[in-house]
Structure 1
Amino acid sequence: MAGHLLPPPVRTRPGEPYIRVRDLERDLAARVDGEVRFDPGTRGAYATDGSNYRQVPIGVVVPRTIEAAVAAVEVCRAHRAPITSRGGGTSLAGQTCNTAVVIDWSKYCHRLVSVDAGARTCVVEPGIVLDELNRRLAPTGLMFGPRPSTHAQCTLGGMIGNNSCGSTAQAFGKTADNVRRLEILAYDGTRMWAGPTSEEEYAAVLAAGGRPAEIHRELREIAARHAGQIRERYPAIPRRVSGYNLDALLPGGPFDLARALVGSEGTLVTVLRAELSLVPVPAAEALVVLGYHDICAAADAVPRVAAHHPLQLEGVDDRLVGYERRKGMHPAALGELPEGGGWLMVSFTGDSRREADARAQRLLDELAGTEHRPHVAFFDREKAEKELWELRESGLGATARVPGMPETWEGFEDSAVPPDRLGDYLRDLRRLLAESGYDGAALYGHFGQGCVHTRIPFDLVTADGVAAFRAFLGRAADLVVSYGGSLSGEHGDGQARGELLPRMFGPEVVRAFQQVKAVFDPGDRMNPGKVVAPYRVDENLRLGSGWTPADPDVHFGYPADQGSFQRAVMRCVGVGKCRGHQDGVMCPSYRATGEEEHSTRGRARLLFEMLDGHADSPVRDGWRSTAVRDALDLCLSCKGCHSDCPMGVDMATYKAEFLAHHYAGRPRPAAHYSMGWLPLLARLAAPVSGLANALAHAPGLGRAVKRLGGVEPARPLPYFARTRFTTWYRRRGPRGGGERGPVLLWPDTFTENFHPEVGRAAVEVLESAGHRVVVPPRTLCCGLTWLSTGQLGVARRVLRRTVRTLAPLLRSGTPIVGLEPSCTAVLRHDAGELFPEDQDVRRLGEQTRTLAELLGAAEGWRPPRVAGTALVQPHCHQHAVLGFDADRALLERMGVGPARVVGGCCGLAGDFGFTAGHLEVSMACAEHELLPAIRDAADDTIVLADGFSCRTQIEHAGTGRQAVHLAELLAAAGRGTPEAAADGAVAFGARPERLIRRRSAPARALGAVPARPADPPGRR
């Protein structure tokens, strides 16, 4: 509680009583088993979700258990504080941001409580992520059916709150159709299980009395009183998500209270647990893509296609495809599309591949004889299908920041109409967009159920633009209603559509919503201002006409963002892909801690708040902000977000920028000097490397060196090489005929000073491939360590010197081969960000190659054969900037197989894992994928890692394995050994080279660090 300034007493709306925030925080901290956060950083990170809206929360509670969440609600009730529940925070209508106490379920309350495979049900806590639930259910052969595009990060609690759907709702229905029962908590403390209620069960509830009886009786009376209008105004379409599900309470029906509460967006009750219906995992799938003249013609074909009962029936237009092409997204999948300007993606399931294919073929046979005959691409290859679905699921990211186009925003991205009227609706919607000056918006979505997604180039920063936004929403809502549709077909109402509900439902049904709200929450404390008594659609905008952010002078050029740091920060649109736990590299610190502030999105939100565009921003101290500094402290600068984020957020660059300003003119942490200036220190140590090693590893003195340098005490310091790589090379001199021409082998700091054997191996390989190897005439550096610690002035000077020295080679077109991926990525990418107008820097980026890229492009060169399997850890910067395809292809040509490529981050990440205080997170990152994979690998598996950090972490973790560089593998294979096979392949099991070896690592001292912490590291 100490260490930050609390906001003064607040009230959420005029006329409401003030809430004494300090007393509320104190009581929550005393009563709740969990993390109670009222600090500026947390409040800033939770101020918005995936929507256009922003409201700074009073505070955030992260309960460890369901009972702790119940205690939090009790404390809030005592203080009359409003409550907002939050899962993945990806809502697009503003449901999960509010001036309230936010309860974040996602960090701890994610248990799969029970599974009944026979009944096809399970019970879950609200914080469990959909993909994680289905992974845990996999042994049963069952899964939860609805699958939104955010399946890797959305929680079941959020899906229940929004009545989520996704593409598979075509076959399995909405979340409401798959919920059996809910354990709910009302604001007044009433706690019960809710579900379908027969007449006998209803009578029993009334007989038991109390608040449950009152709730059931009052709801039944409301539904009966308004039954006529409910039946008349609720559209009979598969994707009606707007409003409360009062149709589940109608007389003569099942009176299903659980179904009625799904989609209520936390405005009625808090969901504590859910009993879900499950479906069998499809045994096989087949995908057909149907190409039509345009998206409207594709929509016209939907009824005929839907009659074949596919698993998924999605639509994609030419604009979305064009935007993905412009942004370089999914090139392989785009190349698979059949001819057309609008496409339907249709998948079928079966008990076998043959059955799935046959179902797809029956559809094609029928369409062939109709006016809906398409161009066709047929897929039954799992990889191709996955890539094509990723193309569709990336729609939000693809349309959010398109080069050469205005910014686009949600706001009317979720309408749904009867599927048999979809084509005409799209034609009218396009006309309305054009009339309103919003032409160019892509149209895509769940066409089989008439649901349309889009992002529109609204002007949300001027008064006229906001007025036009508001006017358009009214006209668009009327258009949907005229088609018998729903304002929301998936994303819910929240603030984006709450004000528009009377246009769809009429005044009587809206009064029924208000009456239902009063049954559960008469004081309007549950997510106030959403759905019922909503804020206006143009209130609480994340931007708005009053938004006045700073756009400060910066060190990087941000060429993709018009030179603007503010525009770069605004790349984050809240998709939340950085909160995933499986695919890709992004975001290792979030995977380790489960903290919103440690996700790429959370950090981007804090940087947005730091730019001070709103008077109520909790982050008030600009570049000097300790809240932003603390959130960035655990950023590994892995650059995973640069490639994995659909918006291309590059938090490593933003972190370096922030650190440069934050520490300008004042002392830095010791690690910035010891590790930031490592290239210079290593150069000074080179003549006396033996003495330097002895002093650094002497028991008492070594500890003192680490303490002075801000180095983690448990980390062994790396040993300086006895002979630097370039010293060895200059003594040896260039050799070979060089018939393929010269290459400059870049002597990065780590190869040069710590692992020169990697450089020697690379020289051997390059010369054997016909190249003449040269090295720089003097010691040069890419500036990586100064970049990563935010010492950008030094980094610029170092890079200028490097470019001046290399200029003759650059202008002659000489290729530069990098061995250390992080340094190679600086030459190829970061240098251009610092000097976007420098032509020699541009040449540097264009001429820099990885070893695999250079060799793979060498015509006629044949790699040596290797008889063995490999476990490969691509460096994060290679994944994000350089790419791994060339390495994968080279390993295949070498015969290494199967080569298992490990995902995720090693956790050391340059200076990060060496910095004092980072060890727990560093090891947790490594334990996510890398270390378990190494422990599981057979003894004769080659462990391949080009990154110095990756090799060091593997050694320090006490796995007993030592990883090697690709250059070492190639050199050893080229030399052969006495165990070489007759065909020239090398059997590495007994060779003396440093390729497969178990060793007693000095870093076994790290064994004191728990491999899997009981709680995620981070806040306590």
Structure 2
Amino acid sequence: MVVPHDVDAGAEAVAVCAQFGAPVLSRGGGTSLGGQCTNAAVVIDWTKYCNHLVSVDAERGTCVVEPGIVLDELNRQLSTERLKFGPKPSTHSHCSLGGMIGNNSCGASAQAYGKTVDNVRRLEIVTYDGMRCWVGPTSREEFEAVVAEGGRRAELYQQLKNIVDRHMGDIRRRYPDIPRRVSGYNLDSLLPENGFDLARALVGSEGTLVTVLRAELDLVPVPPYEAMVVLGYGDICAAADDVPRLLEHCEPELLEAIDGRMAQLMRAEGAYLSSLDRFPDGESWLLVQFSGDTQEAVDAQAHDLLGALGRSEDDTTVAFSDDPQREQSMLKAREAGLGVTARPPDGRETWEGWEDSAVPPDRLGDYLRDLKELFAEFGYDHPSLYGHFGQGCVHTRIPFALKTADGVEQFRAFLFRAADLVVSYGGSLSGEHGDGQARGELLSRMFGETVVAAFGEVKALFDPDDRMNPGKVVAPHRVDANLRLGPLWRPRGHDTEFGYPEDEHSFTRAVMRCVGIGNCRSHEGGVMCPSYRATGEEEHSTRGRARLLFEMLEGHADSAVTDGWRSTEVKDALDLCLSCKGCKSDCPVGVDMATYKAEFLSHHYARRLRPAAHYSMGWLPLWARMSRLAPRLVNAALSAPGLARAGKKLAGVAAERDAPPFSEESFVQWWAARGLPEPDPADPRTVVLWPDTFSTYFHPAVAKSAVRVMENAGFQVAVPTRAVCCSLTWISTGQLATAKKVLRRTLDVLRPWIEAGTPIVGLEPSCTAVFRSDAPELMPEDQDVKRLSEQFRTFSELLLNDTPEGWQPPRLARTATVQTHCHQHAVMKYDADQELMRRAGVEADVLDEGCCGLAGNFGFERGHYDVSMTIGEQGVLPAVRDTAPSSMVLADGFSCRTQIEQGGTGRRAMHLAEALALGLDGFPSVDHPEKSIDRPVAPERDARLVTAAVAVAACATAGTTYALVRRMMRM
């Protein structure tokens, strides 16, 4: 891997490779589905540093970019000029412009703006032998000047012209005239009528000819107004049949399709339900979006189309919207196609290979019928069919059997039959993703031997030794070679601690959830993946870790990881995983890296000495209970300079971190002192408040506030006074056998309430998530765990759904900046909290800034501080600093509150329960703006206790009796 700091360094890397004859593979976001980004080569990753917008010419509507810039980031920087790069693949949050140029990417907006090739003006390139120059359209005069100058560039231009001149008839005849032809080299761009445009000829060449260093792009205005019509049909073929009629009457910005199979999968997975609820009647749908300079104009386009189709906005098969937020919600369902269809709930594995064929739009319906017949002939039942129907591009994933020799043989036979089918319709093997290894061998079926021979001549001209991404486009590997699985794949079985109930109880199948979509490489919004956002390294993305775990399974004889669970490479990659669980919700296929990390750590450290942090923070609940012996003394010791420094070193804690002080009176102690009788578990008004470690020993005001609010709502609160724990810290550090023991003891304590069906309320999101997710996966056969999972509520869920009729939360009438805990985002969701805040009069700005960066023990562990703070500074901490003094800062997670307080924000965050409890007192409200609403600062520590702590340590070392220690503790 080479990660160049600038494009000159990237060019130098190519020169070094040429010196040693090493193959080269340029890589952007690595989102290619055709295998373009896999090879035995020196991989140049442009995305970490070579990601700049070099210049913008707003008047000409152009810009110059480096190859590693991500599409969404480019368009964000262009937004001040109200310009954008037109093509927008569904991977827009993480695909790079270099990758888009390499693949000739398209996306839904290509309906209006064309493919990437249609929007590239010039390219700065370097060849393997070191020629570096800008290329683009070439007039006759410019061509003659280049040739007259002589040298390597003159040779390239003259020989390219000779190749095209010899094959001109075949190029004009064999290249299909359709909107979505992405297969093969763009030799048609070198035809005289197309201006001998070498830049466009190189787009889509998949890094096999040159290395792109910079690109000059054409830009388009951002349309200020949009409207969308969704049309329902009886099946996907009927929808396809209607596409030509739609295109006769309108020129939409996009024309997308979703079939009933995809909707069925979404409903089965509980995904994108709010989007589906907005769809009209039908079993398949066309989404038609219009844009323009006024809302009236775009609305008129939509209504004119409906009139031409004989439909109206009132029809049950029509949904109309000119609300951009609603439209984006509906489009997200379409963008989710790959993730939704990759892992169907029925347990089948589906694969790419024939996932983006394209035909003329006016022949699309018949092509789909024939394709369905081909599926049936090969026994490939129910693949979803969706895609960019306005341009005749069809997406699908097929349940190929790639683990047996017969299945692989059938896979190969299908691809050749499908290639012949699409060519018979005048179509293209690829309408968006390129050929790569998946379709390279099929190119002769589409273009004929003569044109494919011309591809070879072009390759030999630019790269005579086949060192640029070899095996792609020219002299390709067989479509069934180098398969990820294949008939020789034999992963070993593994006895695991987690049950993986959604993955057929198989760790192997769980790891294989990752299909490389790459959403974990996004740079903003959502939670996934904070460590990648901090480091920019693939190794620290969810996808990178999943790939290493796959290698660890040792399914192939030449696996890169050879020492299994003891692997240092896998441990190092997982080290910066925050266990935030963001991937569990944000990954389109539901990879849960936090669980996989815990599983790995359990095996990696089996019968071995663990890192100190696993004993200090992994056993935190036990140490917290022991702190009750002398909390003031413990706090003094934790803050005494010499002792604290030594203690952190011994405990594996980052020296930069301050230990959160223990409360002098725990919540459970406070509760016991109330002396209230325990309510009847069978009483419908009874609820159990879960005394988690953090709300009990560190921030008891949170639990006390929750008691006040729940009692105000009419509940009778019960609190377990015997020791209970969710085992979160043992799970996150991979001490899973201990975690199970702790959970079993907890079940014994909770059993009366479990049997009575009593609601149990969690205040700490990470602890609640354990009972809703981790515990059922860790102990899938335990019925009490299952019952407990169903009975566990968040604080907001209880107050919204279970309170007596007529109760309303206290009015706060305040604005608030709200940080959602990652586990809540991933497991419980935040809808109930937002509704409760709305009813309480809180105008909430719920941050979409990702993880806070502390994430339980992660940010406290030695070696993680810098990454932890980098993550915090990427979103949460600046947002809190920008919060008005009169606004609340709300964060239900102990980690989030701690990071905010230790992150230089000058603010203390509150739990929602604390805010509502203050509301019971009539403030904070608009009537008392001058009153502080922050959680009170802990009292100053007594200096005498610091001295005492030092004395205690010295006495203990000298063997002083415990009686003396107890006497000192009474100070």
TM (norm. structure 2) is: 0.95
Match of 1:1009 in 2: none
Mapped partners of 1:437, 1:653: distance in 2 = 35
Specify which of 178, 181, 199 is matched with residue 140 of structure 2. 199
Q: State the AA in 2 paired with 1:641.
A: C
Q: State the AA in 1 paired with 2:263.
A: V
**Residue deviations 1:942-975, cap 9 Å, x none?**
0000000000000101111000001100100011
Mapped partners of 1:991, 1:127: distance in 2 = 50
Name the CA shift for 1:998/1:247 in 2 (closer, same or farther; >3 Å): farther
Mapped partners of 1:285, 1:1001: distance in 2 = 60
Specify which of 303, 313, 322 is matched with residue 361 of structure 1. 303
Match of 1:610 in 2: 552
Match of 1:873 in 2: 819
Match of 2:240 in 1: 299
Matches within 5 A, 1:188-227: 188-227=129-168
**1:387 and 2:329 aligned:** yes
Conservation of the 8 A alpha-carbon contact between 2:565 and 2:603: yes
Match of 2:414 in 1: 472
Secondary structure class of the residue paired with 1:990: coil
Match of 2:931 in 1: 991
Mapped partners of 2:296, 2:910: distance in 1 = 44
Mapped partners of 1:145, 1:553: distance in 2 = 50
Mapped partners of 1:290, 1:647: distance in 2 = 28
Mapped partners of 1:990, 1:930: distance in 2 = 26
**1:176 and 2:117 aligned:** yes
Name the CA shift for 1:1000/1:354 in 2 (closer, same or farther; >3 Å): farther
Mapped partners of 2:921, 2:783: distance in 1 = 40
Mapped partners of 1:272, 1:136: distance in 2 = 20
Match of 2:685 in 1: 741
Match of 2:829 in 1: 883
Mapped partners of 1:999, 1:696: distance in 2 = 15
Name the CA shift for 1:735/1:201 in 2 (closer, same or farther; >3 Å): farther
Specify which of 377, 385, 404 is matched with residue 346 of structure 2. 404
Match of 1:238 in 2: 179
Q: State the AA in 1 paired with 2:931.
A: R
**1:115 and 2:115 aligned:** no
Contiguous gaps of at least 5 residues in structure 1: 1-59, 1003-1020
Mapped partners of 2:684, 2:753: distance in 1 = 16
Name the CA shift for 1:315/1:330 in 2 (closer, same or farther; >3 Å): same
Specify which of 569, 576, 579 is matched with residue 518 of structure 2. 576
Name the CA shift for 1:992/1:509 in 2 (closer, same or farther; >3 Å): closer
Name the CA shift for 1:895/1:786 in 2 (closer, same or farther; >3 Å): same
Contiguous gaps of at least 5 residues in structure 2: 943-971
Match of 2:967 in 1: none
Q: State the AA in 2 paired with 1:618.
A: A
Report how far residue 90 of structure 1 moved.
0.8
Point out the more displaced range, 989-998 or 619-628: 989-998
Secondary structure class of the residue paired with 1:345: strand
Conservation of the 8 A alpha-carbon contact between 1:964 and 1:995: yes
Moved over 6 A (4+): 735-739, 996-1002
Conservation of the 8 A alpha-carbon contact between 2:580 and 2:823: yes
Q: State the AA in 2 paired with 1:510.
A: V
Conservation of the 8 A alpha-carbon contact between 1:867 and 1:988: no
Match of 2:267 in 1: 325
Specify which of 6, 12, 19 is matched with residue 71 of structure 1. 12
Name the CA shift for 1:402/1:1000 in 2 (closer, same or farther; >3 Å): farther
Report how far residue 685 of structure 1 moved.
1.3
Secondary structure class of the residue paired with 2:858: coil
Mapped partners of 2:921, 2:926: distance in 1 = 9
Conservation of the 8 A alpha-carbon contact between 2:69 and 2:97: yes
Specify which of 869, 873, 894 is matched with residue 840 of structure 2. 894
Name the CA shift for 1:987/1:219 in 2 (closer, same or farther; >3 Å): farther
Conservation of the 8 A alpha-carbon contact between 2:672 and 2:721: no
**Residue deviations 1:748-796, cap 9 Å, x none?**
0111111111111111111111111111130110000000000001000
Matches within 5 A, 1:661-672: 661-672=603-614
Conservation of the 8 A alpha-carbon contact between 1:942 and 1:996: no
Conservation of the 8 A alpha-carbon contact between 1:871 and 1:902: no
**1:848 and 2:781 aligned:** no
Secondary structure class of the residue paired with 1:415: coil
Report how far residue 553 of structure 1 moved.
0.4
Mapped partners of 2:279, 2:930: distance in 1 = 49
**1:958 and 2:904 aligned:** yes
Secondary structure class of the residue paired with 1:664: coil
**1:774 and 2:718 aligned:** yes
Matches within 5 A, 1:636-655: 636-655=578-597
Secondary structure class of the residue paired with 2:256: strand
Q: State the AA in 2 paired with 1:772.
A: Q
Name the CA shift for 1:996/1:856 in 2 (closer, same or farther; >3 Å): farther
Match of 1:19 in 2: none
Q: State the AA in 2 paired with 1:623.
A: W
Name the CA shift for 1:627/1:68 in 2 (closer, same or farther; >3 Å): same
Match of 1:424 in 2: 366
Q: State the AA in 2 paired with 1:830.
A: D
Q: State the AA in 2 paired with 1:855.
A: L
Conservation of the 8 A alpha-carbon contact between 2:526 and 2:848: no
Match of 2:949 in 1: none
Conservation of the 8 A alpha-carbon contact between 1:906 and 1:953: yes
Mapped partners of 1:924, 1:639: distance in 2 = 19
Mapped partners of 1:643, 1:393: distance in 2 = 16
Match of 1:817 in 2: 761
Match of 1:762 in 2: 706
Q: State the AA in 1 paired with 2:372.
A: R
Conservation of the 8 A alpha-carbon contact between 2:754 and 2:788: yes
Match of 1:37 in 2: none
TM (norm. structure 1) is: 0.90
Query: Share of identical aligned residues, percent?
Result: 64
Q: State the AA in 2 paired with 1:247.
A: D
Mapped partners of 2:230, 2:350: distance in 1 = 27
Mapped partners of 1:952, 1:556: distance in 2 = 30
Secondary structure class of the residue paired with 1:648: coil
Mapped partners of 1:1000, 1:89: distance in 2 = 53
**Residue deviations 1:423-446, cap 9 Å, x none?**
000000000001111021000000
Match of 2:225 in 1: 284
Report how far residue 222 of structure 1 moved.
0.4
Mapped partners of 1:613, 1:1001: distance in 2 = 58
Conservation of the 8 A alpha-carbon contact between 1:414 and 1:453: yes
Point out the more displaced range, 352-361 or 879-888: 352-361
Mapped partners of 1:565, 1:736: distance in 2 = 43
Secondary structure class of the residue paired with 2:595: helix
Match of 2:3 in 1: 62
Mapped partners of 1:616, 1:267: distance in 2 = 26
Secondary structure class of the residue paired with 2:54: strand
Mapped partners of 1:736, 1:897: distance in 2 = 37
Conservation of the 8 A alpha-carbon contact between 1:712 and 1:917: yes
**Residue deviations 1:723-770, cap 9 Å, x none?**
110010011134899986111100001111111111111111111111
Mapped partners of 1:615, 1:736: distance in 2 = 62
Mapped partners of 1:361, 1:988: distance in 2 = 52
Mapped partners of 1:1000, 1:903: distance in 2 = 33
Name the CA shift for 1:791/1:369 in 2 (closer, same or farther; >3 Å): closer
Point out the more displaced range, 243-252 or 563-572: 243-252
Q: State the AA in 2 paired with 1:71.
A: E
Name the CA shift for 1:298/1:769 in 2 (closer, same or farther; >3 Å): same
**Residue deviations 1:882-914, cap 9 Å, x none?**
110000001111111143434310100000000
Q: State the AA in 1 paired with 2:157.
A: H
Q: State the AA in 2 paired with 1:584.
A: G
Q: State the AA in 2 paired with 1:169.
A: A
Conservation of the 8 A alpha-carbon contact between 2:766 and 2:893: yes
Q: State the AA in 2 paired with 1:139.
A: T
Match of 2:454 in 1: 512
Matches within 5 A, 1:442-457: 442-457=384-399
**1:796 and 2:740 aligned:** yes
Conservation of the 8 A alpha-carbon contact between 1:868 and 1:988: no
Conservation of the 8 A alpha-carbon contact between 2:818 and 2:844: no
Q: State the AA in 2 paired with 1:489.
A: G
**Residue deviations 1:577-629, cap 9 Å, x none?**
01001121010000110010111000000000000111222211100000000
Q: State the AA in 2 paired with 1:184.
A: I
Report how far residue 991 of structure 1 moved.
2.5
